[in-house]
Amino acid sequence: MDSYEVAVIPGDGIGVEVVDAGLSVVERAAADAGFEVETTRFDWGTEHYLDRGEMMPDDGLDRLRGFDNIFLGAVGHPEVPDHVTLHGLLLPIRKGFDQYVCKRPNVLFEGIDSPLRGYGPGDIDFVVYRENTEGEYASVGGREHRGFDHETAVQSALFTRRGTERIVRAAFRAAAEREGHLTSITKSNAQAHSMVFWDDIVAEVSTEFPSVDVERLLVDAAAMDLIRRPHEFDVVVASNLFGDILTDIGAQITGSMGLAPSGNVHPGDANPSMFEPVHGSAPDIVGDGVANPLATVLSWSMLLDDLGETAAGDALWSAVVDQLAEESAPRTPDIGGTAGTEDVVADLRSRL
């Protein structure tokens, strides 16, 4: 029997709740498909930080390196600034394992209301390929003359040819396999150094994919167009920051952050990829037992696909789709129900 080793980092807040809940569903799907997922749990996160002054141990990356993939719950804690927690755990893994493709599907499922008038099931279905290792998230910059009138902070976005080409190429490849339509997001009218460079790379790489038609859209216009005409998007490629903003809009217009999965993918076998629900630690509902586990299950579906276990990945995805489509099925409060996390996963298991 095939067996995969997956590192599981529940992290903070509802991350722990959805990860625990999700595991029982994943194990069932794996058993059904005839393979095993062996998970090793790492209790890293902000509790660990408050205890020991570090979000993960110094050799954290080394300890994760041998795994086939990583599953992360959420990072973030009301008592510790985000730039400490995120720079201590989430971002170092994305960068340290060169997970340069952040893949985020946005689908309006049957049974879910979009906040946008006139949009129903099936009307929204696009995927964002977000650059995940550099750009506006580079740790480049500084702050000088603290407290003086001439105090100045600089935050530098860094775009390399290698870093840009590979995410753009990954997005083109995805577009060629989907509807053949790629939207590249920039802000070239105001950021003439980085974004004109991005545009140039998109133009270069486009010659390799004659079947894909490319639309260039400024990030402000894109934010508008995701509200005005989301049905026209297929694959979107964007920098780290722009991808971050647009995928949150994508989650919102498809009904809930509680449904948005993501993969931080390092294509190839050199490093593990990491999958995580997009929603974050949601301190306001911790302990209430109502965290929505669906983004977690969908993220596991992406993880299994990535391992080549597409039948099991599909089974998880379909279980979620079926559950949402059935009016009487349990759902959590964020998507209009009254059920708890456990009810939802129990129902999912019964659908496998």
Ligand X SMILES: CC(C)[C@H](C(=O)O)[C@@H](O)C(=O)O
Q: Which residues bind its own copies (CB under 8 A)?
A: 76, 81-83, 85-87, 91, 113-118, 136-137, 139-143, 145, 148-162, 187-198, 218-221, 223-224, 227-228, 240-241, 244-249, 251-253, 257
Active-site residue identified among 137, 305, 306, 347: 137
Residue 50 binds: one of its own copies, ligand X, none (C-beta under 5 to 8 A by kind): none
Tell me which of its own copies, ligand X, none is bound by residue 61, counting a contact when its beta carbon lies within the kind-specific cut-off of 5 to 8 angstroms: none
Is residue 248 annotated as a catalytic residue, yes or no? Answer: yes
Nearer to ligand X by Cβ, of 234 and 244: the residue is: 244
Catalytic residue among 20, 244, 306, 347: 244
Per DSSP, what are the bridge partners of residue 2?
35
Q: Which of 98, 129, 187, 234 is catalytic?
A: 187
Decide if 187 is catalytic. Answer: yes
Instruction: Let me know if 103 is a catalytic residue.
Output: no
- Distance in angstroms (rounded) separating the CA atoms of residues 77 and 280: 10
Residue 252 binds: one of ligand X, its own copies, none (C-beta under 5 to 8 A by kind)? its own copies
Cross-strand pairs, 236: 128, 183
Is 314 assigned a catalytic role?
no
Residue closest to 3 by CA, chosen among 26, 37, 31, 32: 37
Of these residues, 248, 288, 314, 322, which one is catalytic? 248
- Give the residue among 275, 264, 261 at the shortest CA–CA distance from 4: 275
Looking at beta carbons only, is 257 or 311 nearer to its own copies? Answer: 257
CB 214 within 8 A of CB 206: yes
* Sheet strands side by side (includes 235-238): 35-41, 2-11, 69-74, 273-277, 261-265, 101-107, 125-131, 235-238, 181-186, 213-218
Q: How far apart are CA 246 and CA 223, in angstroms?
A: 6
To ligand X, the closest distance from the beta carbon of 102 in angstroms equals 7
The site partner of 160 among ligand X, its own copies, none (C-beta below 5 to 8 Å per kind) is its own copies
| Residues near ligand X (CB under 6 A) | 86, 90, 189-190, 220, 244, 278
User: Which is closer to ligand X, CB of 45 or CB of 330?
Assistant: 45
State how far the Cα of 27 lies from the Cα of 30, in Å rounded to an integer.
5
CA gap 198, 185 in Å, rounded: 9
Q: How many CA atoms lie within 13 A of 27 on its CB side?
A: 10
CB of 32 to its own copies, least distance (A): 35
In whole angstroms, the minimum distance from the beta carbon of 262 to its own copies comes to 13
Among residues 61 and 86, whose Cβ is nearest to its own copies? Answer: 86
The distance of closest approach from Cβ of residue 98 to its own copies in the complex, given in angstroms and rounded to an integer, is 16
Rounded-to-integer distance, Cα 123 and Cα 172, Å: 22
Nearest to 63 by CA among 41, 85, 37: 41
When CB distances are held under 5 to 8 angstroms depending on the partner's kind, the choice from its own copies, ligand X, none that residue 197 binds is its own copies
Nearer to its own copies, 253 or 265 (CB): 253
| C-beta of 134 vs 343, nearer to ligand X | 134
* Interaction partner, residue 150 (ligand X, its own copies, none; CB < 5-8 Å by kind): its own copies
Least gap, CB of 285 to ligand X (angstroms) = 17
Six-digit token string for 123: 């009307």
Q: What span, in angstroms and rounded, lies between the C-alpha atoms of 69 and 304? A: 9
- Rounded to an integer, what distance in angstroms lies between the CA atom of residue 259 and that of residue 281? 14
Using CB distances below 5 to 8 A depending on partner kind, what does residue 143 bind out of ligand X, its own copies, none?
Answer: its own copies
| 62 is annotated as an active-site residue | no
Angle between helices 341-351 and 294-306 (to 10 degrees): 40
- Catalytic positions are 137, 187, 220, 244, 248
